[in-house]
């Protein structure tokens, strides 16, 4: 096969333990968009980072050593509201029963290498949930360790289905060019959130409760982070467009390097 016809190779980072479901759906979206997904895990990572595009996936919380904690008031939430969350959203109940998940420092260190490489070499990069947070943290941004203080009297939604609505906070943003002008319906599988943005980054979409949902570079159309999991919403074209954007940028990158 000629170099010109080769599909862009997209690194998709993930954990050693579990993570297969996220990999399956992410790789499906990459293939649907015309790319070749390559699964990258800490135990099998051989140091190769020269891909046409990079996806930093979701998963466990980032280790506190790798982000700046944003101060937040202690959450004071009604017990009835908490009970309602547990009953309405089974994932919230499972999370409460399992307790705080273990950190994955080897994964942090591996993904930081990919983030640095992408930024230094102008490679397209997409951060999803945890990846969105780590991308911002690596650029000097801060993070809320819990979304509870931000939610106040709003339910914390934890579901792979589209149960939230994201509103743009800036005209002519990258995410609006990708997804269109209408508010986006998204899912939520996270307990932490981006606070202050990193160097040259800006928030371009939020949800009703004020949680930052999209970050993008002020000067680079190849850097994007989303707080939700678009890979699980492949049946909605608006979310597939995010992967189509990444593959489009990766194809251009590949052509430029030939």
- Asked whether residue 79 carries a pLDDT value surpassing 70, the answer given is yes
Range from 69-78, 112-121, 190-199 carrying the lowest mean pLDDT: 69-78
| Segment 245-251 mean pLDDT | 97
- Distance, CA of 57 to CA of 76 (rounded, Å): 31
Do 16 and 60 contact (CB within 8 A), yes or no? no
| Segment 88-104 mean pLDDT | 68
Do 191 and 151 contact (CB within 8 A), yes or no? no
- Distance, CA of 143 to CA of 146 (rounded, Å): 9
Q: State the average pLDDT for the chain.
A: 90
What confidence tier does 161 reach under pLDDT thresholds 50, 70, 90?
Answer: very high
- Distance, CA of 242 to CA of 174 (rounded, Å): 10
Residue 222 has a pLDDT of: 97
- Distance, CA of 8 to CA of 31 (rounded, Å): 10
| Segment 101-121 mean pLDDT | 94
Range from 39-53, 98-112, 181-195 carrying the lowest mean pLDDT: 98-112
Q: Residue 54: which of 215, 187, 236, 225 has the closest Cα?
A: 225
Residue 1 has a pLDDT of: 41
- Which position has the higher pLDDT, 232 or 148? 232
Which residues does residue 193 pair with via DSSP β-bridges, in sequence order? 144
Residue 147 has a pLDDT of: 87
How is residue 62 annotated by DSSP?
Answer: P
Q: What is the CATH number of domain 3-257?
A: 3.40.50.880
| Segment 68-75 mean pLDDT | 87
Within 13 Å and on the Cβ side, how many CA atoms surround 59? Answer: 29
- Which position has the higher pLDDT, 161 or 146? 161
Q: How crowded is residue 258: how many other Cβ atoms within 10 Å of its Cβ?
A: 8
């Amino acid at each position: 096969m000629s170099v010109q016809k080769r599909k862009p190779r997209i690194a998709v980072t993930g954990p050693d333990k579990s993570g297969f479901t996220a990999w399956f759906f992410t790789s499906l979206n990459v293939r649907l968009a015309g790319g070749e997904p390559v699964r990258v895990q800490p135990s099998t990572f051989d140091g190769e980072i020269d891909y046409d595009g990079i996806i930093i996936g979701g998963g466990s919380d980032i280790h506190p050593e790798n982000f700046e904690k944003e101060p937040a008031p202690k959450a004071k939430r009604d017990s009835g509201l908490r009970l309602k969350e547990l009953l309405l959203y089974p994932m919230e109940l499972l999370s409460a029963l399992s307790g705080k998940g273990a950190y994955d420092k080897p994964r942090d260190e591996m993904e930081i290498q990919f983030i640095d490489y992408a930024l230094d070499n102008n490679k397209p990069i997409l951060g999803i949930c945890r990846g969105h947070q780590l991308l911002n943290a690596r650029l000097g941004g801060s993070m809320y360790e819990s979304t509870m203080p931000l939610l106040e009297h709003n339910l914390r939604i934890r579901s792979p289905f589209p149960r939230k609505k994201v509103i743009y906070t800036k005209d002519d943003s990258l995410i609006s060019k990708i997804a269109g002008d209408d508010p986006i319906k998204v899912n939520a599988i996270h307990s932490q959130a981006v606070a202050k943005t990193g160097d040259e980054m800006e928030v371009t979409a939020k949800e009703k409760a004020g949680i930052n949902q999209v970050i993008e570079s002020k000067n680079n159309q190849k850097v994007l982070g989303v707080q939700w999991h678009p890979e699980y919403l492949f049946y909605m074209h608006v979310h597939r467009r995010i992967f189509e954007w990444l593959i489009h940028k990766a194809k251009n990158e590949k052509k430029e390097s030939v």
